[in-house]
Amino acid sequence: MSQSDLFTPLIDADAAYALFASKPALTPDNAGVFMGVTSTGIFCRPGCPARLPKAQNCRFYHSAEAALTAGFRACKRCHPTRLPGEASTLIKTLVSLVEDDIEHRWREQDLIARGIDPSTARRQFKSRFGMTFTQYARARRLGAAHNTLVSGEAVITAQVSAGYDSASGFRAAFSKTFGAPPKNKSAPPLMVDWIDTALGPMIAVCDSAHLYLLEFTDRKALPKQFARLSKVHGRAIIPGRTDITAQISDELTQYFDGSLQDFKTPLAPTGTDFQKQTWAALCAIPYGQTRSYAQLAEAVGNPKAVRAVAGSNASNGMALIIPCHRVIRTGGHLGGYAGGLGRKNWLLAHEAKHAKA
């Protein structure tokens, strides 16, 4: 196998070396680029703070697995085997603490007793989840309290299980989260969780039966999507996982390693009849192929509705599953993509490669 076969077909070796020399930040555009150094036996990813080796000592690969297979070991400075934006060890530890004892009311002294700096925990949680560790733990307690009420238990039981000594404090926190005071027949919440992928973290909103939203976490419209989803379905959105979360997480892993072409996770997309018609047409585009916006408009039976189709395309709320990345401009230009053109380029190359395999 030649070096060009091992490396992504979108960039040649000279361009890859220049990329590493520029010390860029890790982005979706370069997340699939890895450099093995024959003089040290180590492989790195773009942005590594280590000194740039000589060009003749570099080999380039399209995946960490390929570099490992070639005999290189992972750099301890840039950690190339980790996914872009992957949750830190600290975040994983803290999430496990909450999940192992959801009813516990976590305080700073609890973290300090475990050798964890509360300010570091706060900062890392805020960066990944948009909320502090304390807020995350409280949301999980309230979610558990909600499930207690749905199961038929008394409000006082739910209050105690959520760690609230004050009935008024519990009612206020519950009402703020769910939009209504605690009662046995309130609508069950939608559960949101974060999933690490090869192109950065994604966020999934599920209940026990369907996936309602899947997006990259850096999508600018995400807060509006959350608000609309909650309003349309009349359900609060709180941190947590369901069996559907586990299913889509497993399928995303398979998709990114090239072993899955059709997602099976049951969906509950939120949109108008025209939008849903457009999304059905998107799902009909075969893996590894593309269509133009004009062709998509023809597929929905309205050749003049190119702009409306493009708008529906961008607002499907099911990244990768409803494959809006497979729509390009007439003439072959990529066009737009809410997840960023770097991701779109990577996805199209990834699917083209594995469609031929």
By annotation, the residues acting in catalysis are 44, 324
320 in helix, strand or coil?
coil
Query: What's the first-to-final CA gap in the chain, in angstroms?
Result: 16
213 vs 222: CA distance, rounded Å: 10
**In the block, residue with structure tokens 């099976």:** 264
User: What whole-number distance in Å separates Cα of residue 4 and Cα of residue 6?
Assistant: 5
Q: What three-state secondary structure class fits 214?
A: strand
Question: Over the Cα atoms of the chain, what is R_g?
Answer: 23
Report how far residue 321's alpha carbon sits from residue 282's, in angstroms, rounded to the nearest whole number: 10
Backbone angles phi, psi at 336, to 5 degrees: -100, 165
* Cα–Cα distance measured from residue 290 to residue 330, given in angstroms and rounded to the nearest whole number: 11
Contact 202, 252 (CB under 8 A): yes
Q: If you write DSSP's letter for every residue of 111-125 in order, what string do you get?
A: HHHTT--HHHHHHHH
User: Which DSSP symbol is given to 267?
Assistant: B
Closest CA to 40 of 73, 3, 5, 87: 73
Residue 238 amino acid letter: I
Residue type, 33: V
Task: State which H helix or E strand residue 203 sits in.
Answer: strand 202-206
Please tell me the distance from the alpha carbon of residue 239 to that of residue 125, in angstroms, as a whole number: 12
* Cα 124–chain centre separation: 17
| Residue 114: CB atoms within 10 Å | 10
